[in-house]
Chain A
């Protein structure tokens, strides 16, 4: 896939819901809890307000996401973002790919990696360790049934521990989830053009 990534990282996410979001003023206590809305924090976007129609699922998914992407030790956070970018590109979520490419670059200080992925997609030539991470992420995203024990070998050859491989698996899987919600309950809209678009 050679989809060109657009830069969605400037400004707020403009996400257009395809069903009516929960009205914050009419929300139930359970919905407010799932949204973590308090009297001093009522800044909730349309995406979260759509998910709040099912507060039970939302209240589990948010801490699951945080545990997977921000949990301490294990796989460096930049590498979790790299897995998220690979998954998002294959799943066609340009918005997700753009946001997580930016996070990767902030964490890794290696801007050339995302420049290459932006140009050549998940087939981009990268250093061997990152190439192994992207290859596994791409295969797991495209066809989980095709994964075998042999797919662990390239990751281990580049020094990933079993905990790090588990962390990468969780991150890639989380974006099989996130990319689907983001693209099928509404659509990310491109923010208004600014002076210097990428």
Chain B
């Protein structure tokens, strides 16, 4: 786990080390620690369960694009390129993942059993399905925390 300072959220929100909003975040040390811990667990797990690192970065990029979060898109684009990949989500496997990302991000109350059956049929294990679900939900969380941090930064 990274104990870096600034961490991923500081960097994405443009909060230099020691700035007012970076310090404000440190009044919630458990949140800072486990938010970064979640990022590490979701993108660089010890066991990826069949949902690979490049697929994870590409999936997160798709969520960021749907949410129109430019800084977040750049972040995941850069990490994807750093892995030497451009588009790992292709074929029936990739298409099923992309369709699920759109559903969970934009209309989570429309999901049905058939959506998970489709992922299973495309070869995703239960571990990969849960990891994909956590990732989509996490980036949705991340974008909203970022929006609040940018708001506080710009309003100070």
Residues of A within 8 A of B (CB): 18-20, 50-51, 53-54, 56-57, 59-61, 63-64, 66-68, 71, 74, 91-93, 140-141, 144-145, 147-153, 156, 162-163, 165-170, 172-174, 176-181, 183-185, 187
A51: nearest chain-B partner, CB-CB: B130
* Residues in B3-51 with C-beta less than 8 Å from chain A: 21, 24-25, 27-28, 30-31, 34-35, 37-38, 40-42, 45-47, 49
Residues of B within 8 A of A (CB): 21, 24-25, 27-28, 30-31, 34-35, 37-38, 40-42, 45-47, 49, 67-69, 103-105, 108-109, 111, 113, 115-117, 120, 126-127, 129-131, 133-134, 136-138, 140-152, 154-156
From residue A163, how far is it (CB to closest CB) to chain B in Å?
6
Is A67 a contact of B28 with CB atoms below 8 Å? Answer: yes
A50 to B134, CA, bound (A): 11
Interface of B is mostly: helix
Known: A64-B31, A64-B34, A64-B38. A18 touches B148 (CB 8 A): no
Known: A19-B126, A50-B130, A92-B109. A57 touches B155 (CB 8 A): no
A166: nearest chain-B partner, CB-CB: B24
A190 to B117, CA, bound (A): 23
A148 to B149, CA, bound (A): 10
Question: A18 is contacted by which of B113, B143, B150 (Cβ under 8 Å)?
Answer: B113
From residue A36, how far is it (CB to closest CB) to chain B in Å?
15
Is B41 a contact of A140 with CB atoms below 8 Å? Answer: no
Q: How many A-B residue pairs have CB under 8 A?
A: 176
Which 3 A/B pairs are nearest by Cβ-Cβ distance? Answer: A92-B109, A169-B148, A67-B30
From residue A79, how far is it (CB to closest CB) to chain B in Å?
14
Given A92-B108, A166-B28; 7 other pairs, CB 8 A cutoff: A61-B134, A93-B108, A147-B150, A151-B151, A170-B148, A173-B144, A184-B111
A18 to B101, CA, bound (A): 17
Is A149 a contact of B28 with CB atoms below 8 Å? Answer: no
From residue A144, how far is it (CB to closest CB) to chain B in Å?
4
A190 to B55, CA, bound (A): 36
Known: A19-B116, A163-B27, A180-B133. A60 touches B38 (CB 8 A): yes
Question: A140 is contacted by which of B31, B104, B148 (Cβ under 8 Å)?
Answer: B148
From residue B27, how far is it (CB to closest CB) to chain A in Å?
6
* Residues of chain B lying within 8 A (CB to CB) of residue A145: 67-69, 143, 147
A68: nearest chain-B partner, CB-CB: B31
Is B152 a contact of A174 with CB atoms below 8 Å? Answer: no
Known: A53-B126, A54-B131, A180-B104. A144 touches B116 (CB 8 A): no
